[in-house]
């Protein structure tokens, strides 16, 4: 609903309708709307997936409902249902703070976020253990960067009992984290330092940040792992180049959630992952698909 509201307020449908030809390039649309091209692309990708071979935009029967003055326009109804009075607006506009500042000041929200991440871990971690257990071969110590309440790390050290875990997150987060005998709990700021370990693990963290911040986090992780045998294990979505994957729409939906809930967070394509990893100083990486929305990315210094 929020994405449809955004499309109406930007006037995407009206701009294409008034263009004068059935197809409008993304560049033309961006110029017409005065909208930043990358954000516009992400919105269009969600509303009507755009292939790499064609960046033209055209109205479909469904998108014609978003044209404000169309004969069968649903624009007014959508704007009503998604108005701030109804309660559906981007996070910072609604709360006056970004989600992380609000989280720190509101223990109830912090717990809800950690519980939500734990729900995701209970789906993704078994898929990792089953699909690519070899990722953890030879790792004696593992720091979970942004480990939340420790659900993911606890599941991993139980599955791979030779691993000693470090749950690393903001102090107010780890203050209420799960306790386990082979897991050390450390509070801190990932932009300042990360505890040393054989490997760094990060799940559903890097998509919260823009490329510049993502590169900073990855650099901090690279600094603390052994240069000869260390690695960073990233569990995050990789947007597919083809649209045959049944979970791809879920990834695109999460990308819209990132746009609404964070200032600059986003899901990334393989090309975008390659860019941030290379900029962070990693020499190579590989991607392992699992039976989940995320993939496992192994990055080597």
Strands 24-25 and 56-57: antiparallel
The answer to whether the Cα torsion of 279, 283, 286, 292 is positive or negative is negative
Query: How far is Cα 172 from Cα 155, in angstroms, rounded to an integer?
Result: 22
Identify the bridge partners of residue 167 per DSSP, sorted by sequence position.
Answer: 144, 185
Radius of gyration of the chain (CA): 21
The verdict on whether 291 is a catalytic residue reads no
DSSP strand E in the chain: where? 24-25, 56-57, 141-145, 164-169, 183-187, 199-203, 231-236, 238-239, 268-269, 284-289, 295-300
DSSP tally for the chain: helices H, then strands E: 13, 11
- Please, are residues 40 and 33 in contact by the beta-carbon 8 Å criterion? yes
Catalytic residue among 19, 207, 261, 291: 207
Query: How far is Cα 121 from Cα 136, in angstroms, rounded to an integer?
Result: 17
Cβ neighbour number for residue 247 with a 10 Å cutoff:
14
With residues binned 3-state (H G I as helix, E B as strand, rest as coil), the percentages for the chain, rounded to 5, are: 45, 15, 40
- Please, are residues 57 and 29 in contact by the beta-carbon 8 Å criterion? yes
Query: How far is Cα 208 from Cα 231, in angstroms, rounded to an integer?
Result: 21
Residues taking part in catalysis = 207
């Amino acid at each position: 609903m929020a994405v449809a509201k955004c499309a109406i307020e930007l006037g995407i449908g009206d701009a294409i309708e008034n263009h004068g030809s059935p197809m409008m390039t993304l560049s033309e649309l961006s110029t017409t709307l005065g909208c930043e091209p990358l954000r516009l692309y992400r919105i269009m990708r969600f509303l009507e997936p755009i292939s790499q071979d064609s960046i033209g935009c055209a109205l479909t029967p469904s998108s014609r409902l978003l044209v404000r003055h169309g004969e069968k326009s649903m624009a007014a109804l959508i704007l009503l249902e998604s108005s701030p009075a109804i309660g559906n607006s981007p996070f910072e506009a609604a709360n006056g703070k970004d989600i992380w500042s609000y989280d720190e000041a509101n223990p109830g929200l912090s717990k809800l976020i950690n519980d939500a991440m734990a729900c995701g871990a209970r789906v993704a971690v078994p898929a990792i253990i089953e699909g690519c257990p070899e990722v953890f071969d030879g790792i004696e110590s593992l720091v979970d960067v942004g480990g939340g309440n420790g659900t993911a790390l606890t599941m991993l050290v139980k599955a791979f009992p030779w691993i000693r875990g470090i749950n690393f997150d903001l102090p107010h987060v780890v203050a209420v984290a799960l306790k386990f005998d082979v897991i050390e709990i450390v509070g801190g700021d990932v932009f300042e330092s990360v505890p040393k370990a054989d490997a760094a693990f990060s799940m559903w963290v890097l998509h919260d940040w823009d490329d510049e911040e993502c590169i900073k986090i990855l650099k901090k992780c690279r600094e603390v792992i052994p240069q000869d045998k260390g690695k960073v294990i990233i569990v995050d979505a990789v947007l597919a180049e083809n649209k045959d994957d049944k979970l791809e729409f879920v990834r695109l939906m999460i990308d819209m959630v990132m746009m609404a809930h964070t200032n600059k967070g986003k899901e990334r394509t393989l090309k975008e992952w390659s860019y941030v990893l290379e900029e962070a100083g990693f020499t190579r990486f590989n991607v392992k698909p699992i039976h989940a929305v995320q993939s496992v990315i192994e990055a080597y210094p």
